[in-house]
Amino acid sequence: MGWTTRGTGRNYDSLTGSEALVGFFTKKVLTYISKNRKCRKCDRGHDSSDHDCRLNFEGSAKAIESAAAAHLATQNSIFDTCHVQLGIMIGDNDSSAIGSVGAASHHEVIKHSDKNHTSKGVVNELHKIKKNHKELTAGAIKYLQRCFNYCVAQNIGDPVEMAKGIRNIPSHCFNNHDNCGTWCGYHANPESYRHSAIGDGFVSEQLFDALSCIFDVVASRADRFAAGVSSNVNESLNATIASKAPKMRFYGTTASSDARLACAINKKK
Ligand SMILES: [Zn+2]
Ligand SMILES: [Zn+2]
């Protein structure tokens, strides 16, 4: 989902949004749609039949994302022609799209979380508890994120082992390496091993408990990101669309905004 609006992230005041499905294997755009909540001509009193009206959505901007996703997944002529259905969806963690696709489909749709969003989510959780633990410096958080990323990268496709590895991250940082995987350098060099960013390791028991809470929760969801997939292609597509319809200028709600979208998409097709 991309928004034609000023600012970053989700902007729920947006008048227009575009959504695209990108194939995991091909990395190409399968289909896209734009939803416009406003039309300038209609606003000026024109009848919708006397112009190329792009008004096609009534409802809040917030509702665009889920409506567009459901539309792309279930009313998709390309899927119909090829006799395929959307079965696995890769997206960021806070997307409302997956829920609506699941509700609109007559079969189960499995969600996989984008690995970069998952990793960033862990960092956000660590920053939330940072002020209560002086050992948890910015460098320490980066180190924990690296440990997490290694665990994910080394256990792609194996949620059970991945979860075990993630649960073990706090122990590793407190110098108990019994259950560490091959990513941990301790076993290669037990005598001289030091952590790269946290030296001799953490010592505070409160910190151990707090880290265990965070990593246990993430580990319990490992099946959602164990495929190690990413939605980077969509993000780069949205950046391309934004560059065609600069957010500083307002093209939404006209035929020209849809033309710009098509132009950006065609580059990726
Ligand atoms: Zn109109
Ligand atoms: Zn270790």
Q: How far is the CA of 25 from the centre of ligand 1 (A)?
A: 38
Q: How far is the CA of 229 from the centre of ligand 2 (A)?
A: 25
The pocket of ion ligand 2, defined by CB under 5 A, consists of 172, 177, 180, 184, 186
Instruction: Give the number of whichever ligand sits closest to the CA of residue 253.
Output: 1
Q: Give residue limits of the domains in the chain.
A: 2-113+229-268, 115-225
252 neighbors 16 (Cβ within 8 angstroms): yes
The pocket of ion ligand 1, defined by CB under 5 A, consists of 39, 41-42, 48, 53, 55
Instruction: Give the number of whichever ligand sits closest to the CA of residue 171.
Output: 2
Tokens (6 digits) for 202: 């953490």
Instruction: Give the number of whichever ligand sits closest to the CA of residue 190.
Output: 2
Ordered per-residue pLDDT tens for the chain, 269 residues:
777 654 455 555 677 888 888 888 888 888 888 888 888 888 889 998 998 888 889 888 778 888 999 999 999 888 899 999 999 988 876 677 888 898 999 999 988 888 888 999 999 999 999 999 999 999 999 999 999 999 999 999 999 999 999 999 999 999 999 998 777 889 888 888 999 889 899 999 999 999 999 999 999 999 989 988 888 888 888 888 777 765 444 455 566 667 777 777 776 65
Q: How far is the CA of 57 from the centre of ligand 1 (A)?
A: 11
Within the chain, residue ranges assigned H as helices are 40-43, 61-74, 77-82, 97-104, 115-129, 138-154, 159-167, 169-173, 205-220, 222-225, 232-244, 255-268
